[in-house]
Homo-oligomer: A and B are copies of this chain.
Amino acid sequence: MKPSEDRFDDLAEGDSAELAHTITTADVDHFVELSGDRNPVHLDSLYAARAGLGTPVVHGMLTAAFVSTVLGTMLPGEGTLWLSQRLDFLVPVRVGDTVRIRATITRASPGTRVVVLRTEGRNQRDQLVMDGEARVRVLRLAAGA
């Protein structure tokens, strides 16, 4: 099928898209540089051990950044404006884990152009590490110049 003029028309309940990313130490360093979040549970092996975590856990918001990427570049894709997000962090993610972030449309409302998606993150052992729901609006583009 060729894409519609209005990308909203191409969206259907049940559609899904997935992105996989292996979290590196560089990712964590970049997130710390960006946010300033130096909470030692993410950075300090001794502290993480004393806190009962075993080893440091990746910032939840770093994993959640990839939800932005799925929504904004895959489904619904470009022209997506984020309205709200719920995030449940269920299982710690650690450096070296490969996280698959999947978004699945649960509702698309033509009247408001609002799309609701379930957003799930799973690790390489298929554990649900992050669950949630996104509400986005798919912007309508005026004719180009």
Q: Which residues of A line the B interface, CB within 8 A?
A: 19, 27, 30-31, 33-42, 46-47, 50-53, 57, 59-62, 64-69, 71-73, 77-89, 139-145
Contact = CB atoms under 8 A, between A and B. Distances in A.
20 contacts: A31-B65, A34-B62, A35-B65, A35-B69, A37-B68, A37-B73, A39-B71, A47-B79, A50-B142, A50-B143, A51-B79, A51-B141, A52-B142, A59-B68, A82-B89, A84-B86, A84-B87, A84-B89, A85-B85, A85-B86
A75 to B, nearest CB: 12
A45 to B, nearest CB: 12
A36 B67 CA distance: 11
- The quantity of this chain's copies bound in the complex is 2
Given A37-B73, A72-B37, A140 B67 contact: no
Contact of A34 (B30, B60, B77, B86): B30
Given A42-B72, A84-B89, A85-B89, 9 more contacts: A36-B73, A37-B68, A39-B73, A47-B79, A51-B140, A51-B142, A59-B72, A61-B61, A64-B64
Given A39-B73, A79-B41, A85-B87, A141 B50 contact: yes
A79 B79 CA distance: 38
A63 to B, nearest CB: 10
B52 A37 contact: no
